[in-house]
């Protein structure tokens, strides 16, 4: 029954981007992808070979992109050049880390949000990469606001949401016990 209550370490990787070069983006993404490979190998060893790994962890990565949209004279918005560069960088980083020339990840899931938009990728190892696209007309473009957003997202949405799910699981375990 204790296995139903997940006690794994959870690592949330968080970073911010604004006007970084493709090379800088690739560096960040290579680090994320290397962790994805490591975590995936640990998960596979645990699930398929019942390896007990005291250093096992789950992970997900979040990148907050400041000023991610270009607004034309009619206030129509499109992704800016730096976000478009990110699409190129993610595939280049995947190809470098996985040693597969021309590797392309599946397109991200796109979600409209009150702060702009969100792109979600499932990395090759199965972990989540979420890119939060901030629209300067909806939320401040300053770095401090990105920090506030990721702390709020992690504490308010992910962690407290998981606590609620764990409480439901614990309640069910207790109710199901004789």
Per residue in 45-67, pLDDT (tens digit) is 999 999 999 999 999 999 999 99
Determine the Cα–Cα distance for residues 99 and 111; give it in Å rounded to an integer: 30
Per residue in 118-172, pLDDT (tens digit) is 999 999 999 999 999 999 898 876 667 777 777 777 767 666 666 556 556 655 6
Determine the Cα–Cα distance for residues 134 and 77; give it in Å rounded to an integer: 12
Domains in the chain: boundaries: 2-176
Per residue in 81-123, pLDDT (tens digit) is 999 999 999 999 999 999 999 999 999 999 998 889 999 999 9
pTM for the structure as a whole: 0.82
Contacts of 29 (CB under 8 A, 6+ apart): 89, 90, 93, 94
């Amino acid at each position: 029954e204790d296995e139903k209550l997940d006690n794994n370490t959870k690592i949330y990787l968080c970073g911010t981007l604004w006007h970084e070069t493709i090379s800088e983006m690739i560096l960040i993404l290579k680090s994320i992808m290397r962790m994805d490979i490591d975590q995936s190998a640990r998960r596979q060893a645990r699930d398929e070979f019942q390896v007990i790994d005291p250093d096992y962890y789950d992970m997900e990565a979040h990148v907050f992109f400041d000023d991610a949209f270009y607004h034309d004279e009619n206030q129509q918005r499109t992704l800016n050049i730096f976000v478009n560069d990110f699409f190129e960088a993610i595939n280049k980083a995947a190809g470098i880390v996985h040693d597969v020339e021309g590797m392309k990840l599946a397109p991200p899931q796109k979600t409209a949000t009150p702060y702009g938009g969100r792109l979600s990728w499932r990395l090759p190892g199965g972990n989540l990469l979420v890119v939060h696209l901030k629209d300067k007309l909806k939320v401040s473009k300053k770095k401090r606001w990105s920090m506030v957003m990721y702390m709020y997202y992690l504490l308010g949405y992910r962690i407290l949401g998981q606590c609620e799910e764990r409480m439901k699981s614990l309640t069910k375990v207790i109710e199901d016990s004789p």
